Chains A and B, each alone.
Chain A
Amino acid sequence: MLSDHAVSILIFAGIDVVMALSFYLPASAGQLSAGQGGFMALGAYTSAYLTAHLGVPFPLALVAGGLVGGLVGLAVGFPALRLRGLYLVLVTFGFGEMVRVLFLNAPAFGGPAGFAGIPAATTLWHVLGLLVVLVYFFARVSGSRMGRAFAALRDDEAAAEAMGVNSTYVKLAAFAAGGVIAGLGGGLYAHYTLYIDPEAFGVGRSLFVMLYAVFGGLASFWGAVAGATILSILPELLRWVKDWREILYGLLVLAMMLVRPQGLLDAALLARLSPRGERAAARG
């Protein structure tokens, strides 16, 4: 069987994949979020409060965390209706910081000292189970009418509307669903680390989540899966370089983005890997 250390690496990698998918979903409709850490915090704190203080069963608390993430995602989606590109990145970044400062100043959630005493509940099977559900969901959506509407919105908003796509609805749905996924990721995280503090969900977290998805390639959700898996396990593989680890990690990411700015899995590579190449080749 796997050692505890290996299990812990896999659980954190799995949660990173969940988070990368939470970024990918709105991104696939052209909505770039630099605040996924904020949604993760909401899911983590909500579920932790429910299990630790109110004795709510873990699965229920996890779902509640996802729902809070989704509701707040819906609220954040509204300014997104008027903003795009870098401006949206700034607003979502501001949202993430707001959540962090909010929990920093909330004594009920431990404030800067953090929230301890969370019951241990997350297992590798929970993480893998959620990933299977998410992969099934993304695979179904990507070839569907809704998936095409997402891709059209990312390509050209006016053209998508001219074909009857309700851009308001699609954008809000994308942000809300991204919020649900990040909230679930937060709940799994909290019930594995058993201690959370606001700094764990700051801008660094949001940027790493973005990096995972972009590194893997935004042509398909498989990019987010591959990017997050590789980049979360990479530090473990680089242990032998000791103090140089983070520098080497940075250099490897940099080299990869120079060689393949479109990400690891681009449309052409996906077409070669896919039995139905025609469709995969279209996302780009």
Chain B
Amino acid sequence: MLARSPLLEVEDLHVSYGKIRAVQGVSLAVPEAAVVALIGANGAGKTTLLRAISGVVRPRRGAVRFGGEDLVGLPVHQIVRRRVVQVPEGRGMLARMTVLENLRLGAFTRRDEAEPALERAFTLFPRLRERRGQLAGSLSGGEQQMLAIARAMMARPRLLMLDEPSLGLAPLLVREIFRTIPRLTSEGTAVLLVEQNARMALQSAAHAYVLQTGRVVLSGPAAELLAAPEVQRAYLGGV
């Protein structure tokens, strides 16, 4: 896997909000169909990094190469069309539309039949099938997170970016959500996972980066980071 050139390559990325430098020279790589985790404390620049990749904010400097093409400067919808899809923090529910309509919108960029994709989404999260006629705003937090992931998968992304999927969910639900991640990669989707829940993230990922005040301070195979004393101390609540 390391020999091939990665699907996503972020090189020396700098993002600022006015005078605040949120991301300062981050480089990272996501191989095809791999799970890569990005962990770090609140305000480390994780979400900003995702927003820069998906085109919501424009980086000040650096490159975001996807399949060899630089994405910097492309509008959001063009990036989605290249099958780079972000599940935003807070899930971005279309609250006044039904579950089914949310899912169909997920396939907005695709011209082919939506039915097989819908079937896959319902297999991934059977609970969504029961709720398909319900307004998305009336779902529980866990169901909304499921819908957000299923909706993003409707676009058959090559890269799926998950921003804090565990946010505000009970541990049991968090586990249920994380259990689906290997299923996503088995369909050929690479996952870039941003999490504060470092343990869950490191257990799901092959590779991980630790972000601190906008810089990568540590990276390596997830299993190694899980065992690293500095990670244990700072992010896993060890001694």
Contact = CB atoms under 8 A, between A and B. Distances in A.
Contacts of A148: 97, 101, 104-105, 108
A42 interface: no
B92 interface: yes
Contacts of B88: 158-159, 162
Q: What is the interface of chain A mostly: helix, strand, loop, or mixed?
A: helix
Contact of A166 (B77, B100, B135): B77
A199 interface: no
A278 interface: yes
Interface in B94-116: 94-98, 100-101, 104-106, 108-109
B75 interface: yes
A157 B54 CA distance: 15
A156 interface: yes
A151 B101 contact: yes
Given A163-B108, A282-B135, A158 B92 contact: yes
Given A148-B104, A282-B101, A162 B96 contact: no
Given A148-B108, A152-B105, A163-B106, A284 B77 contact: no
Given A152-B105, A156-B92, A278-B133, A161 B97 contact: no
Interface in A7-58: none
B164 to A, nearest CB: 15
B97 A155 contact: yes
Contacts of A282: 96-98, 100-101, 135
B76 A161 contact: yes
A166 to B, nearest CB: 4
B75 to A, nearest CB: 7
30 contacts: A145-B104, A145-B108, A148-B105, A149-B105, A151-B96, A152-B97, A152-B105, A155-B94, A155-B96, A155-B97, A156-B93, A156-B95, A158-B88, A159-B88, A159-B94, A161-B80, A162-B54, A162-B80, A163-B85, A163-B155, A164-B77, A164-B80, A164-B109, A164-B155, A165-B105, A165-B108, A281-B98, A282-B97, A283-B96, A284-B135
Interface of B: 54, 56, 75-77, 80-81, 85-88, 92-98, 100-101, 104-106, 108-109, 133, 135, 151, 155
Interface of A: 145, 148-149, 151-152, 155-156, 158-168, 278-279, 281-284
Chain A to chain B: the 7 pairs with minimum beta-carbon distance, closest first: A159-B92, A164-B80, A164-B109, A282-B98, A155-B94, A166-B77, A284-B96
